[in-house]
A and B are shown apart, each in its own frame.
Chain A
């Protein structure tokens, strides 16, 4: 869901920009020097993941996977997903310039939210429980993204509201698929490399957990 330039009113664009700058600054502050390569590579991974097309009915959708990004990256999801959106705008012409802030907030804020809601759940020793929280993160982040986009459009103008409602409706299958994929990915990580979820947590915090 990339909003384009010119669709939103100025106050929404400015508010989005300020929020995005705040989130990115916080994300960068929480990322220590050692983590820069890992964060950059994760940003690249999620960029590649967004190119994957998943069949749905007669058509296909491309993945967003911001929930999974949030689970792994925490606040670092803000700069990482911002870089992804910036590169998409520059290379593919997706989205735009002034709406970059709004788009970043719409994608990264749900990721951070899901990180805090699900971080204990996905570390549960039972794989089924971990998968449930993974599904919640994957589906929930798409839902929150859709809601944020709707709010941005609704503040801009009344005439967008019916369309925005339909967009949320159209995103329910995407939500289900992303939730299911995220659950599967969490189950694989659970089995293969459970410490992946701790890669972006400061050392002291891991000891407490």
Chain B
């Protein structure tokens, strides 16, 4: 794990103003943004929040189509919940479907949740999702997140790809033995064994890693040396975000 300073500002492209901001400022800003947006109630302020998310997405030079797809694909369970809301909220009747009454109140509530969720996720993907995972660990550590948790995160970030390869290897081995997934007990049993094998292999891998690291003087601690510099542009960003969120809040109270 090299000192983070070398790849501090590597994100998507690295040329945008936003990607040059201090990661700590971006993490804190997106967290406060989420807290403010969740507490909003008016449609004007929520729409502005979504627009702000879109603006940040464009500034971060994220691929627009892919990101929007990511943001819109919510859990099936949440979509179901939102579709149910108009029918379960009491209020003024909007239309009737198979004897069930849909209400405007429920529809507004569903729209409100959708706008909030999308605004927060867009901002999160733009501000924090573009931070290199290693840099993110260092930044979280500087924000007083416990060291053990940061180490845990850095390890899993490092090994997700490795284990995914391991999983694909096992899948290829199954395919070579003519395994075809279907709705039968054999499929479920095979996938269960696959999971068990994946776990056995990972724990053995972790033992090898620990031994190799011990050979190199590992004492249960990484030295997180990455230095961050809070500069003028970060101060401007913080001030601008603060004023924007304050404005959003006031707008919501006066026109909510």
Contact = CB atoms under 8 A, between A and B. Distances in A.
Given A49-B198, A83-B152, A4 B188 contact: no
Interface in B62-116: 67, 70-71, 73-75, 77-78, 80-81, 84-85, 88-90, 106, 109, 112-113, 115-116
A201 interface: no
A162 B155 contact: no
B125 interface: yes
Interface residues of B, number: 83
Contact of A182 (B84, B192, B220): B192
A40 B151 CA distance: 8
A17 B123 CA distance: 20
Interface stretch (B31-39, B228-236, B240-248): B31-39
Contact of A96 (B77, B117, B133, B189): B117
Contacts of A40: 151-156, 158-159, 206
- Chain B, interface SS category: helix
B48 to A, nearest CB: 15
A38 interface: yes
B199 interface: yes
A54 B155 contact: no
Interface in B123-159: 124-125, 128-129, 133, 136, 146, 148-149, 151-159
Nearest to B164: A48
Interface in A42-88: 42-45, 47-49, 51-52, 54-57, 63, 65, 68, 72, 79-80, 82-84, 86-87
A48 B169 CA distance: 13
B193 A196 contact: no
Nearest to A31: B148
A41 B203 contact: yes
A188 interface: yes
A117 interface: no
Contact of B81 (A84, A89, A167, A192): A167
B227 interface: no
B253 interface: no
12 contacts: A36-B151, A40-B153, A40-B154, A40-B156, A44-B158, A63-B195, A82-B149, A96-B124, A185-B193, A185-B196, A193-B203, A196-B199
